[in-house]
Amino acid sequence: MLNKLLLDDHEMSETCDTIFQRFKKISFMTSLELTSSFWQVPLTKESRKYTAFMYRGRCYEYVVTPFGLKTSSASLVHALRPVLSGMEAFVVNFIDDILCFSNSFEEHLQHLTVLLQRLQDYNLTINLEKCQFMARELKFLGHIISTEGIKQDPEKLAAIRDFPAPKNLKQLRGFLGLINYYSKFTEKHAELTLPLLELLKKEKRWTWNDKFQGTLDQIKRTFCREVVLQYVDVSKEFFLSTDASNRAIGAVLEQRDINNVRKPIVFACRTLKGNDQYDRLDTQVSIFLTQARPMSTRVVTFLKNIGKWQAKDPRLAQLLARDNQKPCSSHNRNPR
């Protein structure tokens, strides 16, 4: 009943992908989890009466934020903002999960000292059984974070691999939601899932056949390949590669590693609908115009006729000139 009367509070933590974008070169990590996190956020005296409940003939009120309220997560996010303020360069959090990361052992000791002191100053306690200290690799938000980069959690991959053929729309939506969480690990996500998305249309009658089973198997093979997304280094050159079909568009942002090999930072894709369906050249330029960012980037566009296109679309010419972009053909995989 109380949830129906509460006003919505849309305050939330950063998204998983936004958090990962803040990671730089990592050598050591520590993950912390608050003990009964909501209970560490006190309720104002004016609010306590609304949480009253009866137990064995006596009336009790919460003095801390209870679990189960639709605003509990938002209240915790609000409460942690001043606690973690000023530590954005080495601390991220998703609700009550806190991760401290550093580039060296000595630096990590310093960062961890600052973080723990701040938690103590605000009288916040952590659950030691769920914490990991000075780790080189650990699980965080359904991913494996390591010194090498970000990769999928093997347990999540096993859940994808072992997912049975769906028998109804509810199970199909469950599978699509499961793989969508890892869509940043492949540029094929949008195109691969198109046949299954057709089943979600209201006018479609549920029929699971060999065609859909083949699509399911192909999706599993694609998503269950281990991919390591490396951390962004803003001092290095970026490469944005794009490709398109008449059904979907995809892109991958890359940087070179210490061996001068291009490694992915993130993949992106989406399906084409209605007015989006240009010819292949139009589509790939559209990807570039929407995906490119103001940085020194060498853009691999998979275009054979980039010069003519720059004359055709002034937006592209302006963007290339403004952001120091250097387009090249896909035939030259190592542009200089």
Contact 93, 83 (CB under 8 A): no
Cα 271 from Cα 248, distance rounded (Å): 4
- Model's pTM, two decimal places? 0.78
- Check residue 289 and give its pLDDT: 47
Highest mean pLDDT among 101-110, 199-208, 283-292: 101-110
301 forms beta bridges with none
Nearest to 228 by CA among 259, 264, 261: 264
CB–CB of 328/302 below 8 Å?
no
Does residue 270 contact residue 296 with C-beta atoms inside 8 Å?
Answer: no
CA–CA separation, 234 and 114 (whole Å)? 26
What's the pLDDT band for 293 if we cut at 50, 70, 90?
A: very low
Per-residue model confidence (pLDDT) at position 325: 55
Query: Does residue 315 have a pLDDT over 80?
Result: no
Place of tokens 């990807």: 287
The 10 Å Cβ neighbour count of residue 134 is 13
Provide the token pair at 293. Answer: 């960012």
* Closest to 25 in 3D by CA, of 260, 239, 257: 257
Instruction: Please provide the size of the chain in residues.
Output: 336
- pLDDT beyond 80 at 312: no
Closest CA to 269 of 302, 233, 242: 242
Identify the CA nearest to 30 among candidates 108, 120, 121, 143.
108
26-35, 165-174, 294-303: lowest mean pLDDT where? 294-303
pLDDT band at 266 (very low <50, low <70, confident <90, very high): confident
